[in-house]
Chain A
Amino acid sequence: MEHLGYLFAAYSIIFGAIFLYVVFIWRRQAALDAELRALEAQMAALKEASTAASVPEHSET
């Protein structure tokens, strides 16, 4: 079959690129989740500190 090489190249590039983009999104997501956990920890610490100090808290949720 002539031109099979071109067909193969086109399809592999297309799906390869899409796969790479998904990986890119996935890795960004992992970093984002780590940041989110850090923020949640900060919030928990804040809650403890404010109830411990009995400072009237502005309702900020």
Chain B
Amino acid sequence: MNNSAIRNWLGYATLALMVAALFMVFDYVPPEAEQGIAQLIFYFHVPLAWVAFASFGLVAIAGIFYLWLGDQLWDDLGYAAAETGMVFCTLMIVAGSIWAKPIWGTWWTWDSRLTTTFILWLMYGGYLMLRASADDTPQTARFGAVLGIVAVLDVPIVIASVRLWRTIHPAVLVTKQGGHGLEDPRMVATLLVCVAAFTLLWVWLLMLRFNQLLTRSRMGALAVRIAFASAAVAGGK
């Protein structure tokens, strides 16, 4: 199968890029002046965030295509995106929290970035809970699609309102806006490699899981046809 060869190559490329990223983070990039060594978490925290949001967008896009075209393939893609997105979103929050503790002295803070990501995490959770609490029918797939679309449309408003919330009342702790003010070009390069590595990792995991769900859907359809054919053959005797 051509597809499985592509997936394997994706896997190898991911591995290679991830090794390069780790090397750059631990051996190449200069340490940041104020924050000490824990600042290095930033180089994984940012890519995780980008991937978490991108995956969420994919859930919505897949939902739109599912409602429009009706092909189970789109629902499988959406579900795979929701699952992988949930993994990366959770990791992003955990990494952010571990970063926050040595830098700001607290495990959690309601700064605008973390708050928005937490809301995103809740939405992912809601989607997955909805899928878990309903049977595997086209109606459930439609539910998921609608929920995904509605949630994604909400995200810009969430971002705007949370940001406003945190600026009108000055935050307890001022956020270190990572990503702006990276003075050293080596930092920028490292960040870019990390973003590329995690994006590739996301695509690879997504393809794996998507292919799995797709196969399962098709097998389900095939099993039904076999059952009918068996009955027909048995009846014909």
Query: How many pairs, one residue from A and one from B, have CB atoms within 8 Å of each other in the complex?
Result: 88
Residue numbers of B with Cβ under 8 A of A are 36-38, 40-41, 44, 48, 84, 87, 90-91, 94-95, 98-99, 101-102, 201, 205, 208-209, 212, 215-216, 219, 222-223, 225-226, 229-230, 232-233, 236-237
CB contacts (< 8 Å) of A9 on chain B: these are 98
Q: Which residue in chain B gives the minimum CB-CB distance to A33?
A: B215
Whether the pair A25, B212 counts as a contact (CB closer than 8 A) is yes
28 A-B pairs with CB atoms under 8 Å apart are A3-B38, A3-B102, A4-B37, A6-B38, A6-B98, A10-B41, A10-B99, A13-B94, A14-B48, A14-B91, A14-B94, A17-B87, A18-B87, A25-B205, A25-B208, A25-B209, A28-B212, A29-B212, A36-B215, A36-B219, A39-B222, A39-B223, A39-B226, A42-B226, A42-B230, A55-B237, A60-B225, A60-B229
Q: Which residue in chain B gives the minimum CB-CB distance to A3?
A: B38
Interface residue from A3, A43, A53 paired with B226 (Cβ < 8 Å): A43
Given contacts A2-B37, A7-B37, contact A49 B201 (CB under 8 A): no
Whether the pair A21, B36 counts as a contact (CB closer than 8 A) is no
Main secondary structure on B side of the interface with A: helix
Whether the pair A50, B41 counts as a contact (CB closer than 8 A) is no
Interface size in chain A (residues, C-beta < 8 A): 31
**Shortest distance between the CB of B86 and any CB in chain A (Å):** 10
Q: Which residue in chain A gives the minimum CB-CB distance to B38?
A: A3
A50–B98 CA distance with the chains assembled, in angstroms: 64
Interface residue from A10, A11, A55 paired with B233 (Cβ < 8 Å): A55
**Shortest distance between the CB of A5 and any CB in chain B (Å):** 9
CB contacts (< 8 Å) of A22 on chain B: these are 205, 208
**Shortest distance between the CB of B21 and any CB in chain A (Å):** 11
CB contacts (< 8 Å) of B44 on chain A: these are 10-11, 14
Whether the pair B225, A18 counts as a contact (CB closer than 8 A) is no
Q: Which residue in chain A gives the minimum CB-CB distance to B25?
A: A11
Residue numbers of A with Cβ under 8 A of B are 1-4, 6-7, 9-11, 13-14, 17-18, 21-22, 25, 28-29, 32, 35-36, 39, 42-43, 46, 49-50, 53, 55, 58, 60
Interface residue from A7, A14, A36 paired with B38 (Cβ < 8 Å): A7
Given contacts A35-B219, A42-B230, contact A18 B41 (CB under 8 A): no
CB contacts (< 8 Å) of B236 on chain A: these are 53, 55
Whether the pair A10, B219 counts as a contact (CB closer than 8 A) is no
**Shortest distance between the CB of A25 and any CB in chain B (Å):** 5
Contacts A10-B94, A22-B208, A50-B233 supplied; 4 other A-B pairs, CB < 8 Å: A2-B102, A6-B99, A32-B215, A60-B229
**Shortest distance between the CB of A9 and any CB in chain B (Å):** 6
CB contacts (< 8 Å) of A46 on chain B: these are 226, 229-230, 233
**Shortest distance between the CB of A32 and any CB in chain B (Å):** 6
